Amino acid sequence: MPYWSLEQEQALKKMFEEGKPIEEIAEIFHRSVEAVVLKAKRLGVEIPEKCRAISESKKEVESQATTTTLPAD
């Protein structure tokens, strides 16, 4: 799905206005979060903080994850 239709662009704008999380929008359009953010920027759409909230909190949790190394036998 390389191109965004006019209807998809309008729906994207509406979803941001409604405050939908970026991850949810990406799932609806079957696109990556990065693709949705890039399209919003190209359209000149400001991404509200409430749309980013889940994305930011998810990054914070992921950055707190630790790795355990088991000793070699």
User: Which pLDDT tens digit goes with each residue over 22-72?
Assistant: 999 999 999 999 999 999 999 999 988 888 866 555 555 455 555 556 677
pLDDT at 67: 58
Asked whether residue 45 is domain-assigned, the answer is yes
Asked whether residue 31 is domain-assigned, the answer is yes
Asked whether residue 40 is domain-assigned, the answer is yes
Asked whether residue 59 is domain-assigned, the answer is no
Alpha carbons 64 and 51: distance in angstroms, whole number: 22
State the total domains in the chain: 1
pTM summary value: 0.68
Cα 36 vs. chain centroid, distance in angstroms? 6
pLDDT at 38: 95
How far the first Cα of the chain sits from its last, in Å, is 49
Residues spanned by the domain of 27: 6-52
Asked whether residue 27 is domain-assigned, the answer is yes
Asked whether residue 46 is domain-assigned, the answer is yes
pLDDT at 32: 94
Name residues whose C-beta falls within 8 Å of residue 52's C-beta, 6 or more positions apart in sequence: 22
Asked whether residue 68 is domain-assigned, the answer is no
